Amino acid sequence: MRLTPFPFCATDWHSLPATRFPGDHGWADVRIQSFADMCIRLIEFSAGYVSDHWSDKGHVAVCLDGELETELGGGRSIVLRPGMTCQLGDRSGRHRWLSITGARLLVID
């Protein structure tokens, strides 16, 4: 990954407003910080969350709390627990997120 130059900064995630996105079940509260061509999101998923769409956008995601299942288009799924990451390149396959217990992720794309 190449990062377009931008100056050093620190993000106080609690000071950023959250936007709530409903899923097929539950919701995801998303806080966003953007830099040049990079986006960093702190996402809090409710218990019982099921995404309302499939995505083929690439991500690097770090699970901070809870458990989040990444369901892949081919039928495979991976459960992320605190301290785990997942990495997927753009257009490398469709995926969606689900959480039985709720979760918090830091997502970079």
Residue-level pLDDT at 41: 95
Separation between Cα atoms, residue 105 and residue 96, nearest integer Å = 14
> Whose structure tokens read 């690097």?
60
pLDDT in tens, 15-39: 999 999 999 999 999 999 988 788 9
pLDDT in tens, 60-83: 999 999 999 999 888 899 999 999
Residue-level pLDDT at 87: 83
Residue-level pLDDT at 7: 80
Residue-level pLDDT at 1: 61
Cβ atoms of residues 76 and 14 within 8 Å? no
Separation between Cα atoms, residue 75 and residue 70, nearest integer Å = 10
